[in-house]
Every structure is written in structure tokens, then in C-alpha cells.
Amino acid sequence: MSETQKRNGEEVVDETLANKKVKVDATTTAQQTEVKDQQCLLTTIEKLDLVKKELDVKKWESNVTIQDLITSSLDKNDRDAFFVADIGVILKQWIKWKKNLPGVTPYYAVKCNPTVGILKVLNALGSSYDCASRTEIETVLNLGVDPTRIIYANPCKQISALKFARAHNVKLMTFDNVSELEKIEKFFPEAELVLRIAPDDSKSLMRFGTKFGVHIEDCFDLLEMAKEMNLKVVGVSFHVGSGCFDSIAYDSALTMVKSVFDMAAKLDMKLNLVDVGGGFSGSNTELFETFTKVIREKTAELFDKDVRIIAEPGRYFAASSHTLAVTVISKRIIKQEDNRQHPRRTSNNMRQYNYYLADGVYGSFNNVQFDHAKPTPILLKPSNKQPTPCTLFGPTCDSIDVIARDTQIPELKIGDWLYFPEMGAYTTASASSFNGFCPPPVYYYCSEVDESAL
Ligand SMILES: Cc1ncc(COP(=O)(O)O)c(C=O)c1O
């Protein structure tokens, strides 16, 4: 309804309507504040219960196996592939994080798995977020997350995204080069900057050093330049590489961070934040405990108590939370002649098979291409047949759509189901709909967890 009406041919503002609108706006704001206050008052468990309702999370009883659970989903849903996501895994990882890194705030790396279920569960737990782009920032803000709980951790940012971050007060962000400083000076001069250094990433599966991070010998100049531009550098970050397998990586990276703190001090800049990045395993607790011990001890040794320590775990929270169930849609017997034509296939007297599955490397198995993954197939119904050599292909018409080459499993028939554990990290995130095969849906469950430990 318009607030401007004609009276004796003149345009006048209808005071009553305008007043009403002011009142409605005030009420809405008051209601929003009230809702926000109520949400603050809710305990973590209450917030989690709300999220479970929203996601339609089913309880996963301890006497129910993953096979039973997948089988029951087959009966209910006419699907060729789907994920079973256990939010209980995320809760257990949260508890383990709090126990091992009590002083380190996790900023979940959204890029690892931006599935709304993971984001919402972590929000209920009070996690912060590492965002790589405007869309990720927007997604996280839309969950009601305060902008101070976001780090824009992409050292090379689009100008449009910088403007968006400024408009939404997402101040904390990483940088590692001069042109980034120039952009930030122009488009977001009040930003709080974290200098990303390049640590030794040779102890990781996915190395980032060729793309990101400033070398230690160039740090002083960059800090000096930031100072000349009147920009506020608040801390230092690093990423030892994803899939790290040696704690020495954190040890030496933290020593480098300390030397950058000392350089900053020489420039009268007081840094107060250390960001230890990601790299933590999602399934290997022993490795996680070794890494976290190093981080605890080294940060206590090198930095003052008022220095805030944060991290950007992705794989740690997401990897074990998802299991992918997928059906065999087609099958081909490989003849000896084919083997001669294609010498890459092993030749022996056994029959060999090509199986075509309902999801492939253009979908959830893109981790084979992008994340060094070697997915392990498990038969939904155990078979006592002898394992035979086979190759598992995805469903598209592209020949590089190979999930596992020259593997061994008991003979399968069309309509059989396989499942693949540990499929939560870097899977759904880059899945495409190439050839019209859409990424599989996610069904949420929650295994038993001692919620009082959250
Ligand atoms: C800047 C940054 N932070 C955090 C992560 C998450 O790493 P991870 O999954 O090893 O924990 C990545 C992964 O690519 C990253 O690029």
C-alpha cells in the first residue's frame, strides 16, 4: 500500500500509514532482536535439536549396522546413489577438538564440504568459518553467523568479493602479495589482515606452496608495505598442506610464524593472531593427537598468552561423516583380445570385468582427480565368491571417468550395491552434473554421542 496519497490534487504523505509502517518496522526489529536473544539463550543441545528437526535427522541406533541402514534407505528411496551423513561423527570430532585443542578456535573450511547439514550442525556447536569466496561468505552469513566468526582465507580475492565483505563487515582476511595489499587499501582499508606464509609442505598429500604463501625472506617487505599503507596486520597464517602426515610440519611452521612476529615487532606492529590452517586427518586419531600436542606445546612456548590461536580444519570434520552408497548400472566382460588392444589392463587367465556405477569422477568421486583419493568399495551384501579383477567406471560417456582401475572384488550383477566410507571431504564440494548425472542426495542420521561433552 502506498504511503503517499492525493488530497485536493496535492501529493501528501499519509501520516497514519507512515506511522504504522514505522511501528511495524520497529516491531519487526524488536522481534528479530528477541529471536536472536532467545537463540543466544538456547543451549548447544537445544540448538542441535532444532537443526536435527530441520534436517530430518534420523536416530542411528548402536545395534544398526551401516549395511542395515543403507538397505533400509534403498527400500524407501528409489535412488541409484546417495550419501548417508552421520552428524554424530561431526559431534564426536568437535568433542575431540575441544579436548585436544581447547584454546584453538576452529574456523571450518567451507570449501571442504559446503553441505548445509555440516554447516548448520557446526553453527549450533559455535564453530567459526573459513570462507574462500563471496558465495561461501554469503552462505555462512545466511545461517545467522556473526561476521566476526568468519575469516576470508583466500589470499587472492576478487574486488567484487572484497566490496561484499566490507559491506557485511567481514574484516578478517588473509593476504600474501603486494597487489592484494593494493586492492585491500583501495576497497577495504579497515580490514584486519593475516599474512599467509609458505611453510614446508613436503609432508602433505596436497601441497599449496606453489600457489599460496609468502616466503619468509619477503615477509618483512610486505609488512613494511602494509604499514606504509596504514593497513592493519593482525596476525600470521599458514597451511601445511591438506592430508598432512608429519607433525614436524606444524613445528617448523610455528617457528616461522614466530620469526614473522619478531619482524613485525621491529616495525612496531603488534600481532596477536596465529592461524594454524588445516591439514588435520579426519580418521586418524593418533596422528591428530600427535599434531595437536605439537601445536599446544609450540604455541605455549613461542607466543604470549594474549595471542589468539585459530585453525581452518576442513577434512577433520567432514571426511568420516559421509558414506556413499552407489549401485551397479552396467557391466562388461573384458576378453583377452581386449587386453591385447589395451595393454594397461592386466592379462591373466581370470575373467575381468568393467563395472559402471551410478556416480563417478565428474560427481562425488572427483576426489580421485582432485584429492589423491583411492576410494575403497565395500559390497553391501557380502559375497563368498572369489574376488575377480575389475575396473570401476562412473556413469558418464567419458573414458577418464574411472573410480578404481584394476581392483579386485567378487563378481557383481546389475542392481548390486557398493558403499564407500570416508567420502565427506572434497567430494560433494566439486561434484558436477556432467552428462546430466546430478550429485546424489544426502540422508542424515545421528549415531550415539555423549552430548553432555559438547
Ligand atoms: C586456506 C585453506 N584453509 C583450510 C583448508 C582446509 O584444509 P584441510 O581440509 O586439510 O583441513 C584449505 C584446503 O584447501 C585451504 O585452502
Instruction: Give dist(CA 441, CA 80) in Å, integer.
Output: 10
Same domain, 311 and 330: no
* CA 133 to ligand 1 centroid distance, Å: 13
Same domain, 173 and 210: yes
* CA 18 to ligand 1 centroid distance, Å: 50
Q: Which of 137, 203, 239, 295 to mutate to test the pocket of ligand 1 (most atoms within 8 A of CB)?
A: 239
Decide if 67 is inside a domain.
no
The CATH number given to whatever domain includes residue 368 is 2.40.37.10
Decide if 394 is inside a domain.
yes
| Residue range 118-132, pLDDT digits in tens | 999 999 999 999 999
* Minimum-distance ligand 1 atom for the alpha carbon of 196: 1
* CA 58 to ligand 1 centroid distance, Å: 30
Decide if 54 is inside a domain.
no
Ligand 1 atom 7: residue of nearest CA: 278
Instruction: Single out the residue in 296, 319, 342 at which a domain terminates.
Output: 319
Cβ–Cβ under 8 Å, residues 326 and 80: yes
Residues enclosing ligand 1, CB less than 6 A? 109, 111-112, 130, 153, 239, 242, 277-280, 312-316
Those residues whose C-beta lies under 8 Å from the C-beta of residue 2, and which sit 6 or more positions away, are 17
Instruction: Give dist(CA 346, CA 245) in Å, integer.
Output: 32
Q: Which of 175, 238, 312 to mutate to test the pocket of ligand 1 (most atoms within 8 A of CB)?
A: 312
Ligand 1 atom 14: residue of nearest CA: 242
pLDDT-derived band at 37 (thresholds 50, 70, 90) equals: low
Looking at the 3D structure of the chain, how many domains does it have?
2
Instruction: Single out the residue in 295, 319, 343 at which a domain terminates.
Output: 319
Same domain, 267 and 344: no
Instruction: Single out the residue in 287, 319, 351 at which a domain terminates.
Output: 319
| Residue range 246-274, pLDDT digits in tens | 889 999 999 999 999 999 999 999 999 99
Same domain, 295 and 334: no
Instruction: Give dist(CA 388, CA 403) in Å, integer.
Output: 17
* pLDDT confidence of residue 348: 57
Domain span holding position 234: 87-319
Same domain, 324 and 336: yes
Same domain, 235 and 342: no
Decide if 39 is inside a domain.
no
| Residue range 177-228, pLDDT digits in tens | 999 999 999 999 999 999 999 998 887 887 877 889 999 999 999 999 999 9
Same domain, 135 and 94: yes
Q: Distance of CA 157 to CAs 8, 176, 183, 186, 236, Å?
A: 56, 11, 9, 13, 17
Decide if 412 is inside a domain.
yes
pLDDT-derived band at 242 (thresholds 50, 70, 90) equals: confident
> If you average pLDDT over residues 414-432, what whole number do you get?
97
Same domain, 306 and 420: no
Per-residue HEC secondary structure of 406-422 comes to EEEEECCCCCCEEEECC
* pLDDT confidence of residue 87: 97
* pLDDT confidence of residue 17: 42
* CA 317 to ligand 1 centroid distance, Å: 12
> If you average pLDDT over residues 436-443, what whole number do you get?
95
